[in-house]
Amino acid sequence: MNAHVGRTSAIPFGARSLLAFVLEPKTPLSDWLAGLDEWLERSPNFFSTKPIILQMAGVEIGLKEYRDLLGQLSRRHIRVMAVENSSRSLVGPHLPPVVAGGRVVNPEKLHEAPAETAAPEPAAPAPPPPVRAEGLFHEGALRSGQRIVHLEGDVTVLGRVASGAEIVAGGSVHVYGAMQGRVFAGVMGPEAARIFCREARAELLCIGEAFVTAEGMDPKLEGKPVEASLDGGQIKLRSII
């Protein structure tokens, strides 16, 4: 008798790269949460649909306090996807998983050189030339609630960026109109990234990890063409007229 063998079904499998925002709690947590609430007053839905990673380096808290922190964030519509640099006591079932983030490490630097000289290995083939980053152009206005994410290069908007709109760019951002929303530039490397806008009325300008909100901007720059750049780890704003 021949047994019938069913065909093994293939399981679809893939990978996806997501931009995650990192929150770094500080003790005392009550003060840090109060500062977070001030931020959310200006942008109530800023974190609501974004993957969030908690950076817990240097934060010494117990499991009960940690669970309470996660609950406090959840009540603010902040869903923690994962945690970095967490102590062992804060890892377990029903808690965010631990991730190792950041930059790719050269594996050759993880080991010391051998005492004896090894036989030379065949030369590796030359790596292909880097792919040139492509800019993204958006024709017209970016309306409230709309979002552009382009991690491969610069973003140029040929129009107004309304309040509540958002731009996330791997490189620089150019807005040929009124900039009233939020801009995150240099998320793939902030050193040379800049933000240019024809009319500065932004809710938030951010390059790398440095940011400035509307309240922190010089009132003299409001409504003027402005360039934002990094200077000593801080956002520097200057008029370009």
pLDDT of residue 13: 65
Quote the pLDDT of residue 39. 76
What is the pLDDT, as a whole number, of residue 1? 52
What pLDDT band is residue 14 in, cutting at 50, 70 and 90?
Answer: low
pLDDT above 70 covers a percentage of the chain that reads 77
Helix residue ranges per DSSP H, the chain = 29-42, 63-75
Q: Which domain holds residue 36?
A: 21-90
140 and 235 inside one domain: yes
The domain total for the chain is 2
- pTM of model > 0.85: no
CATH for 84: 3.30.70.260
Q: Kindly provide the b/e burial profile for residues 156-191, where b requires at least 16 CB atoms within 10 angstroms of the residue's own CB.
A: bbeebbbbbbbbbbbbbbbbbbbbbbbbbbbbeebe
Same domain, 50 and 140: no
Kindly write down the DSSP assignment for every residue of 86-101, as one continuous string. Answer: --GGG-STTSPPB---
Q: What is the mean pLDDT of the chain?
A: 79
Is the separation of the CB atoms in 201 and 178 below 8 Å?
A: yes
Q: Which two tokens stand for residue 45?
A: 């839905």
131 falls within a domain:
no
Q: How many residues does the chain have?
A: 241
pLDDT at 145 over 60: yes
Residue 129 has pLDDT above 80, yes or no: no
For residues 167 and 234, membership in a common domain is answered with: yes
Residue 118 lies in a domain: no
- In-domain check, residue 200: yes
Q: Are residues 234 and 174 in the same domain?
A: yes
Closest among 223, 240, 186, 225 to 208, alpha carbons compared:
186
For the chain, the C-alpha Rg in angstroms (whole number) is 23
Name residues whose C-beta falls within 8 Å of residue 237's C-beta, 6 or more positions apart in sequence: 200, 205, 212, 217, 218, 221, 226, 227, 228
At 157-187, the pLDDT tens digits run: 999 999 989 999 999 999 999 999 999 999 8
**pLDDT grade, residue 16 (50/70/90)?**
low
Residues 155, 84: one domain? no
Checking if the pLDDT of 117 tops 60, the result is no
Q: What is the pLDDT of residue 6?
A: 55
Statement to judge: residues 55 and 142 lie in one domain: no
Residue 1 lies in a domain: no
Domain boundary among the residues 63, 90, 117 is at 90
- Give pLDDT tens digits for 62-86: 889 989 999 999 888 888 888 888 7
Task: Give me the amino acid identity at 171.
Answer: G
Both 229 and 154 in a single domain? yes
15 φ/ψ angles, rounded to the nearest 5 degrees: -135, 150
Q: Which pLDDT belongs to residue 113?
A: 38
* Sequence-separated (6 or more) residues with CB below 8 Å from residue 76: 36, 37, 40, 47
**Are both 150 and 70 inside the same structural domain?**
no
